[in-house]
Copies of this chain bind each other. A is one copy, B any other.
C-alpha cells in the first residue's frame, strides 16, 4: 500500500498543494511523493486549518524555520502573542508553534489558526497539564487518556503538527533524573512525563499506546513531532544514556508511523558542544531511518543567556550541514523570559542565517545563487539589488538613512574598497 492509500488525508493535502510545493522546492512532484513514501519528508498541513499553506520538511527540501510563541503563566497577553505571530511571519518563519500555557488556550489556539496560513504546531500535554495545575493538581495526577482527547480536539481545530513525547520511558526517565546529569530533564513535556512515571511507577502511556496516537494523526494528517524529552540541556549532559535511550525508542516509533502512513518528524537537541554536533545529527538520523529532523539549537555553549540565538545559530549551521531539516528558533530571551516582539524577529533571523549557512556549505544551488547575487550587487554598490538579496532588506534602509545619497556606506566613505576599484 502506498502512503496515499494509508493516509488519504495526506493525499488530499498533497493534491491541492503539490504544484506550489514543487515550485517552491524546485523538486519534481514524483520526487516529493517518493520522499514521503520513504518517511524522509513530511508535508505539514491539516485540512481543518482553513487556508493552510502546506510546508514540506526534510529530504533535501529547503531547511525550514519555526518560531515558538505563546503565553506563560507569568506573562499572559494573548494580543501580544498574536502580534508576535505576525512578526514571525513577516520575518520569514515557515511555521509557528503555539506553546501557550496561560489564559484560555482553546481561544488562543483557534485564533492563531484563523490568523495564519503557516502550519501551526502545539504540544497537547501542555493544555492537559494546565487544566490540572488550574485545579491545584500536579503532573503526576494526570489521567493520560486526556492527552489523547486533547490531540483529537486540536486535530479537529486544525493543528498541523504536534509534539508528543513518546520516546521517554521509565528507564530513560530514571537515567535522566537520577544518573548524574548536570541539569537533569529540561523539556517541559519530558519533565512532566518523567515525574508522572517516576511517581506512579508506570510506563509512559504515550509510548505504550502509541497506536492510539497514530490513529488520531491519520484522521487529520497531523504530523507527529516525536519529542526529545531527554535532550541534553547542558554541554556536559550531551550524548548520555538517557538521550540515546529515547532516540532508540523514537527510531522504532518512526518506523511504526511510516508503516501506517503517518507523517512524523524527530526532535533533536538541545545543548551540544560544537565538536559533537555532527555525530549527534548523523547518529539521530541513522537511528530514525532518515526521518525529518527538527532541532532546537543546538546551543554550543551554556552561558550565553541574552544571546542564545547566536549560540544556537552556531550549532544550527553545523547541524544543517550534517543533515538537520527543520530549525526551531531560539531567541535572545531563551532561559530568561518570554521573547518580546523584537526577540521574535531576532530569533527568526538568526535561524534563517544558520539555515542559509548550512545550505551554502552543502553546496545547494539556490543557497549559493542568492549569496552570489548579494555580492554582485555589492560590487556595483547597488543598494536596491542588495535589498533584493538580503535576509532582511529593512536593515539596509534603516541603517543607511543618514547617508543614503552616497553610493558608498558610512563605514569607509571615500575609502570604500569597492569604490577604489571602480
Contact = CB atoms under 8 A, between A and B. Distances in A.
A236 B386 contact: no
A412 B72 contact: yes
A97 interface: no
A190 B417 contact: yes
A358 B415 contact: no
Interface in A296-312: 300-307, 309-311
B307 A350 contact: yes
A83 to B, nearest CB: 17
Nearest to A229: B417
The oligomer's copy count stands at 2
Given A360-B235, A375-B233, A306 B414 contact: no
A311 B349 CA distance: 11
Given A318-B318, A391-B304, A399-B333, A375 B235 contact: yes
Interface residues of A, number: 103
A132 to B, nearest CB: 11
A145 to B, nearest CB: 21
Contacts of A349: 306-307, 310
Contact of A183 (B335, B375, B413): B375
A1 interface: no
A119 interface: no
Among A72, A195, A235, A301, residue most surrounded by chain B Cβ atoms (within 10 Å): A301
For the complex of A and B, the 5 pairs showing the least CB-CB separation, nearest first, are A306-B395, A73-B413, A234-B375, A191-B417, A274-B361
25 contacts: A72-B415, A73-B413, A73-B415, A74-B403, A130-B415, A182-B375, A182-B376, A183-B376, A184-B379, A185-B417, A235-B368, A235-B375, A236-B372, A273-B361, A300-B361, A301-B353, A303-B389, A303-B390, A304-B353, A304-B356, A305-B386, A305-B395, A318-B318, A337-B400, A337-B411
